[in-house]
Structure 1
Amino acid sequence: MPAIAVEDVRRAAAAIRGQVLRTPFLAAPRLSELTGATVAVKYENMQATGAFKERGALNRLLALSPEERARGVVAMSAGNHAQAVAYHAGRLGIPSTIVMPEGTPLVKAENTRGHGAEVVLRGATLADSEEVARRLSAERGLTLVHPYDDPLVMAGQGTIALEMLEEDPELDDILVPIGGGGLISGVAVAASAVRPDIRIIGVEAALYPSCANAIRGEDAPVGGATLAEGIAVKNVGRLTLPIIRALVAEIVLVDEPAIERAVNAYATFCRAMAEGAGAAGLAAMLARPDLFRGRRVGLVLCGGNIDARLLASVMVRELEREDRIASFRITSPDRPGLLGEIATRLGALGANILEVSHGRLFLDVPAKGVSVDVTIETRSREHTAAIFEALTGGGLNPRRIGPAGLSETNF
């Protein structure tokens, strides 16, 4: 028997109603243009703690007996689940202890403390933290609130699908990021009961194909630095895996450039902050447009807790991928007014100069020469190409500077 049924999800919806935000589910015309599908986005990044985790955490907390509430709860998490448990436990007057890996960013630990939780930093990995959490549960009589392998948590997350299908009963697909599987198992149970013909597509970071490995009987490597750390899980849940196996049509693996592109697309086209895991569904559409073209697709933007500096870096990197930011070197005899001439030409061509470096000591530059490294911002890849062509035609002969250094060609 599956761990949950649609009746569990409906009970969860009634229990948490009014205590978590019924987030907007809105059409995304720019994403539709980008992907060739009809796209709508469920903005779970608008929850009080910035992620969908509140639904399952609250549903679990509301099921505690008075004695369990008095003793308190314990959870292990490196981020969103920690804040969700701490926030709702604090609101309900339930003592909470959150075990986090020792390498957890300080801001996440402080945010969790800010909700009133006792934060215990133990273990190098989340698996290590889980061992500590289970030990504390046994020693102190605390109730463990698991981030995904708990029927009440799974049912709480499934309420997202009920809301999406109430607002758009004609959806063809729902795309759901997969970490431990709590979100997708809840969504799959609810959506399949309401619309048996709907297609549930799971998405994993290519560096963490844990669920795909389990479903396909493969042994692809798991691990590495990913932007989607919220779904960087090495082991899928014991309760969630059978539901995924039965109800999820396909699992798409997305690489880091696709995740970065999706984070940037949310920021640029939807004016929405998406963490890497939150953008994974859109990344799948960008990576595999053939799967979704012409279909009606619901995306779950499951979290928006991304560091502002990281978001800025992702957006700049995307401009570089699109050749809207470009760097080049001009080597020329050293003469008065050269820098002004370059700046004047770039201004006339409509380029915005971001950075200039003026060097005379490179050994590949003649003794009476000078090199000028320039980084510019342009309107498009075509505009960048036109600028390089104009500079070359004007005798300046720029050489592109890419990730691997100087290019052998002008552009």
Structure 2
Amino acid sequence: MTLPITPAAVRTAARALDGIAVRTPHLSVTALNDATAATVIVKAENFQRTGSFKLRGAYHHAASLPAEARARGIIGASSGNHAQALALVGRLLDAPATVVIPSDAPRAKVEGVVSLGAEIVTYDRSYGDRDALVADLAEERGLSVIPSANSAHVMAGAGTAALELLTEHPEITTLLVPVGGGGLAAGTAVIAKDLRPDIRVVGVEPHTAADTLASLRAGHRVSLEEVPRTVADGLGHTIPSELPWQVNSLLLDDVVTVTDDEITYAMGYAFAHLKCVVEPSGAVALAAVLANRPDVAGQTVGVVVSGGGVDLRVFHDLTSTFRTRNGTPAHV
């Protein structure tokens, strides 16, 4: 099968994003290494502009559009991070932006979209069809759709985070990455396997939203019967996006899952030890390595922390019961 993106596409995206996306830091601390019996290097995309990796793909896709299409406007659907990225992209490229957001999206993410001047359209995620709504609005207004994952340009842009990490740290032998729609995992896997063919790329999903894992076990895309309930709202997909699935079904070495309790523990751990505020969706790969899932003892491990879009009240509520491994309270 010919994959929808190539390593060359990721490198092209990196050139297009030069001066637009922040080259986010790579963090490593003794406490995390000791806790995992590994050398762990965290790619901190929570420090990216708008607070997540999503800017990388959204900008790369929108910048590839003809000028007249950008002038008419762009539209996309998101639980928050892609929406904020689209709002900033619209400002950077002078393209009016419309974002379709679930009515229960985190307040911090909604406020971020509003502050950047994008128009917001809401829907109920329990029964609303966001993709149909986006398609209808795009046709009615002549807007260009910027998917959150199902786009070659979006996947290539997302893969630039892994390109940065592995270029600086070629010693990494296992790379853990969150999986929602699958665009970040797909871009990551394509460039990682090119830079280091023997690297193990592991996707991480919430236990209750493991549509990619279910699809891998079935050998084809399958849809979850119900809308997932998980603290990781950005990863609550019912079916993998088609183009990322073509990549992930071939290049991901494994997919593991984490519970909500493990996710919130990882959020507290990141605050206490990495001095980072990480949202639930952004914390799943860190949660997996802390849970020794998969076993990475003795390895050099890359962990993609994909975002930090969480408001103060929610962050405090989710992490208020965090304890270090020896049981000592960690004030967050």
TM-score (norm 1): 0.76
CA distance in 2, matches of 1:179, 1:127: 19
CA distance in 1, matches of 2:174, 2:87: 33
Report SS of the residue matched to 1:207. helix
Aligned residue runs from structure 1 range 292-303, under 5 A: 292-303=296-307
Aligned partners of 1:57 and 1:81 also within 8 Å: yes
Identify if the C-alpha distance between structure 1 residues 70 and 285 changes in structure 2 by more than 3 Å, giving closer, same or farther. Answer: same
Q: 2:263 aligns with which of 259, 263, 268?
A: 259
Aligned partners of 2:36 and 2:292 also within 8 Å: no
CA distance in 2, matches of 1:320, 1:35: 14
The aligned residue for residue 206 of structure 1 is: 207
| Ranges in structure 1 where 5+ consecutive residues have no aligned partner | 326-376, 379-411
Report the number of matched residues: 327
Identify if the C-alpha distance between structure 1 residues 24 and 324 changes in structure 2 by more than 3 Å, giving closer, same or farther. Answer: closer
Q: 1:238 aligns with which of 239, 242, 251?
A: 242
- For residues 144-197 of structure 1, the C-alpha deviation after alignment (integer angstroms, 9 at most, x for no partner) is 000000000000000111101111111101100000000000000011011111
Aligned partners of 1:86 and 1:115 also within 8 Å: yes
Identify if the C-alpha distance between structure 1 residues 226 and 105 changes in structure 2 by more than 3 Å, giving closer, same or farther. Answer: same
CA distance in 2, matches of 1:181, 1:49: 20
1:321 CA displacement: 9.1
Report SS of the residue matched to 2:240. coil
Aligned residue runs from structure 1 range 3-402, under 5 A: 3-125=4-126, 128-217=129-218, 223-288=227-292, 291-319=295-323, 324=328
Question: Which is bigger in relative contact order (C-alpha 8 A, separation at least 6)?
Answer: 2
CA distance in 2, matches of 1:89, 1:322: 47
Aligned partners of 1:148 and 1:237 also within 8 Å: yes
TM-score (norm 2): 0.93
Structure showing the higher strand proportion among its residues: 1
CA distance in 1, matches of 2:111, 2:34: 40
CA distance in 1, matches of 2:74, 2:25: 30
| Letter matched to residue 44 of structure 1 | E
CA distance in 1, matches of 2:142, 2:127: 21
State the identity as a percent: 37
- For residues 229-262 of structure 1, the C-alpha deviation after alignment (integer angstroms, 9 at most, x for no partner) is 1111111110111211111111011111111111
1:271 CA displacement: 0.5
Aligned partners of 2:224 and 2:238 also within 8 Å: no
Aligned partners of 1:207 and 1:223 also within 8 Å: no
CA distance in 2, matches of 1:68, 1:134: 16
| Letter matched to residue 3 of structure 1 | P
1:131 CA displacement: 1.2
Aligned Cα RMSD in Å? 2.1
Aligned partners of 1:55 and 1:156 also within 8 Å: yes
Aligned partners of 2:4 and 2:243 also within 8 Å: yes
CA distance in 2, matches of 1:305, 1:86: 15
